[in-house]
Amino acid sequence: MDHQQLVKLSKRMSKALRHDPARVGLTLDAGGWVPVDQFLTAMGITRTDLDEVVAGNDKQRYAVRTGPGGVERIRANQGHSVPVDLGLTPQEPPEVLFHGTGAAALPSIQATGLNRGGRHHVHLSPDTATARRVGTRRGGAVAVLTVLAGQMARAGHVFYVSGNGVWLTDEVPPEFIRL
Ligand code: HQG
């Protein structure tokens, strides 16, 4: 597959594993896993295609692991809108984390903080370059916010880190955001 085909297939896989498994006839288990053989059939792809997307993925969006009974399974590392329990354990965050977004969203973010929207968590990046890449997806001017994660943790907010290094938390109130 060329790069464009890889991205296209990865988006289709994300849709099935994060947002709409029923549309392709799949049911995720409580942890978000689905057997690889079922997934290949549902997507109409080969194991080679799957391995190419999983291994070549710029953000390590997928995990393939052997589960109970030696059955190989796949899940998305993060980003779900369907209810799944990723089984993540709370982690102590670094003192600051970053969030990349569109500049147009700033007034609203300053008023209400960062909300998780349709996803399970607010997604935060460990460095500004990653945050900038996330914000660039929105088109238009990018804003990179600094989140006072250490202060948040000391105030009782819980943080998780996904299998691919994305920091997750329920919400970021405006007082913990610096422009
Ligand atoms: C914004 C991608 C106005 C928030 C990325 C963001 C990430 C507000 C958008 C992952 C707001 C939600 C997640 C408020 C938050 N007012 N706008 N109060 N609070 N927002 O896509 O963080 O490619 O759900 O700033 O790389 O952009 O899918 O979240 O712009 O890791 O693997 O609402 O998605 O990963 O957008 O991105 P999203 P996100 P994947």
pLDDT of residue 85: 93
Looking at per-residue confidence, does 30 or 59 come out higher? Answer: 30
For the stretch 12-54, pLDDT in tens is: 999 999 999 999 999 999 999 999 999 999 999 999 999 999 9
Strands (E), 38-176: 62-66, 72-76, 97-102, 122-124, 142-147, 159-161, 167-169
Tell me the domain boundaries of the chain. 3-76, 97-178
- Region 99-119 average pLDDT: 96
pLDDT of residue 57: 81
Pick the CATH number of 3-76 from 1.10.10.970, 1.10.357.10, 3.30.70.3340, 3.10.310.10: 1.10.10.970
* Residue of minimum CA distance from atom 6 in ligand 1: 101
> Can you tell me the distance from the alpha carbon of 5 to that of 1, in angstroms, rounded to the nearest whole number?
6
The pLDDT confidence band at residue 139, using thresholds 50, 70 and 90, is: confident
Q: Calculate what percentage of the chain has a pLDDT beyond 70.
A: 100
Whether the pLDDT of residue 56 is over 90: the answer is: no
User: Hey, which of 77, 115, 116, 164 would you mutate to test ligand 1's pocket, going by the most ligand atoms within 8 Å of its Cβ?
Assistant: 115
C-alpha of 82 from chain center: 12
pLDDT mean across residues, the chain: 95
Q: Please state which CATH class domain 97-178 belongs to.
A: alpha beta
